Structure 1
Amino acid sequence: MSQLASPLLGMLAADPRADGGQRRVTLGADTIRIDRCLLGIRMRLALPVRAYRGVSLQVVEGARGPYYRVALDHADPELSVTLAEDRDPESLVAEWRGWAKFFHLPRLALDADAGCVAVDGRLGELVLGLTRQRRRGWPLRDRRSRISALRKPPKTRRHVVHRDEREIICYE
């Protein structure tokens, strides 16, 4: 993995399995680094941003009522990174959009019933994905060279047929 070129933000996050119950998360433009100590063993994970599914907004039921959380969502819940938490959803919407734009990831809404729902990149019920890369070159490239493919076919002699005329054949 590449080193974290320009760290944007370093923060402490809660981690129930780590020693001391905390881990250090460093955010960069293209890499997320997670440092933690587990049973006395130091661990450092450096994950590319493209390993994350998107920036999610979810409602979390807390002891003092519901609150909202903006997080980098990963398929493995232990690798998800909480970016912001607040009781007011309007204050987090701008932050949600900003983080999604910064990381070039889709915005996701996490629902308890439906799971993960993509907010960006939708055309009606159709979820738009990444475009495929165009196939370059000529499909018969391996069989014929490009020069021979551009060459014009040879001109064939056209036999001229004259109507109502006789052919004279002489064997002398």
Structure 2
Amino acid sequence: MSFTASPLANIVADDPRADGGQRRITLCADTIGIDRSLSGIRMRLALPVRCYRGVTLSVIEGAQGPFYRVALDHADPDLRVTLAESLNPEALVPEWRGWAKFFRLPRLAQGADTSWVALDGRLGELVLGAAQPRKRGWPLKFRRSRMSASRKSAKSRPHVVHRDEREIICYE
């Protein structure tokens, strides 16, 4: 796997579908590498960081009670990368902010209805804001186009009728 920068961290994570139950994750500034083998076939994925939605802080209900997890969130659960876990949420907040700043991804938190809420108001280099309502009905839609507006319409020009006159045509 070729990376543009030296790896920041190597993580060995649990993967129930992989052979041996583990996968190796390599974190770089612009690329996330995932190595694992499935049914004897080695897989090596190199994903750009922009494929991830953000750095999430979520509450997980465990056997001993709730614990907190900071992870790189991806639409595919197999590509989600856990960065840190703790029983104390205050201990994870600096890591959560640090990883989000390092990867230039928004900080996401899990809402009460299990939806993700962006806390930074940023998505990479984009600044997020309130969605603007769609414009329904254009007030000038019955206006003539620019080309036809430059010409006079037939209704505005009176027809000239010449009676009892002869047309003179000269071909010289």
Fold-level similarity (TM above 0.5): yes
Q: Please name the residue that 2:39 is paired with.
A: 39
In the alignment, the residues of structure 1 paired with residue 101 and residue 29 of structure 2 have an alpha-carbon distance, to the nearest angstrom, of: 11
Q: Please say if 1:76 is aligned against 2:72.
A: no
1:5 Cα deviation after fit: 2.4
Structure 1 segments (4+ residues) deviating >4 Å: none
RMSD: 1.7
In the alignment, the residues of structure 1 paired with residue 96 and residue 7 of structure 2 have an alpha-carbon distance, to the nearest angstrom, of: 20
- The aligned runs of 1:48-63 (5 Å cut-off) are 48-63=48-63
Q: Please name the residue that 1:90 is paired with.
A: 90
- Work out whether residues 3 and 28 of structure 2, in 8 Å CA contact, stay in contact via their aligned partners in 1: no
- Work out whether residues 4 and 33 of structure 1, in 8 Å CA contact, stay in contact via their aligned partners in 2: no
Greater Cα shift, 105-114 or 7-16: 105-114
Describe the superposition over 1:56-115 as per-residue Cα deviations: whole angstroms up to 9, x where unpaired.
000001111100000000011110000000000000000000000000000000236141
For structure 2, the 5+ residue unaligned runs are 130-172
**What SS does the corresponding residue of 2:8 show, helix, strand or coil?**
strand
In the alignment, the residues of structure 2 paired with residue 43 and residue 120 of structure 1 have an alpha-carbon distance, to the nearest angstrom, of: 34
Q: Please name the residue that 1:26 is paired with.
A: 26
Alignment-mate amino acid for residue 119 of structure 2? V
In the alignment, the residues of structure 1 paired with residue 42 and residue 111 of structure 2 have an alpha-carbon distance, to the nearest angstrom, of: 34
TM-score (norm 1): 0.69
In the alignment, the residues of structure 2 paired with residue 38 and residue 5 of structure 1 have an alpha-carbon distance, to the nearest angstrom, of: 28
In the alignment, the residues of structure 2 paired with residue 39 and residue 112 of structure 1 have an alpha-carbon distance, to the nearest angstrom, of: 38
Q: How many residues align?
A: 125
Alignment-mate amino acid for residue 22 of structure 1? Q
1:11 Cα deviation after fit: 1.0
- Work out whether residues 5 and 28 of structure 1, in 8 Å CA contact, stay in contact via their aligned partners in 2: yes
Q: Please name the residue that 2:113 is paired with.
A: 113
Alignment-mate amino acid for residue 61 of structure 2? E
In the alignment, the residues of structure 2 paired with residue 17 and residue 31 of structure 1 have an alpha-carbon distance, to the nearest angstrom, of: 23
1:4 Cα deviation after fit: 4.8
In the alignment, the residues of structure 1 paired with residue 81 and residue 113 of structure 2 have an alpha-carbon distance, to the nearest angstrom, of: 22
